[in-house]
Amino acid sequence: MKSNKFALAAILLWVATVAVFAWFFVRGSTVAGSDNRTAVVLGASERDLVLSEMQTGCAIIACGRHGCCR
């Protein structure tokens, strides 16, 4: 009987964790833009990281398109 309580507590903790992550994934930190689009609020370091990842992705795509990666 004691293991059933432990299992139930573990499942409830797992469900709570998934719910919190889902809430932040769906809600996040956003504001309404002036053109009715959703703008994601980022800090300076997060913004720099996202921009560098986008630039790397664009460079890989351009390299593959022009055949310079071979």
- The pair of three-digit structure tokens given for residue 26, joined into one six-digit string: 């769906």
Using the predicted structure, report yes or no on whether residue 70 has a pLDDT greater than 60: no
Say what the pLDDT of residue 68 is. Answer: 64
Say what the pLDDT of residue 1 is. Answer: 59
Region of poorest pLDDT, from 5-19, 25-39, 41-55: 25-39
Quote the Cα angle for 13-30-45, to 5°. Answer: 90
Output the DSSP codes for the chain. Answer: -HHHHHHHHHHHHHHHHHHHHHHHHHT-SEEE-TTS-EEE---HHHHHHHHHHHHHHHHHHHHHHHTTT-
Q: Kindly indicate the confidence band of residue 69, based on its pLDDT and cuts at 50, 70 and 90.
A: low
Give dist(CA 66, CA 16) in Å, integer.
Answer: 48
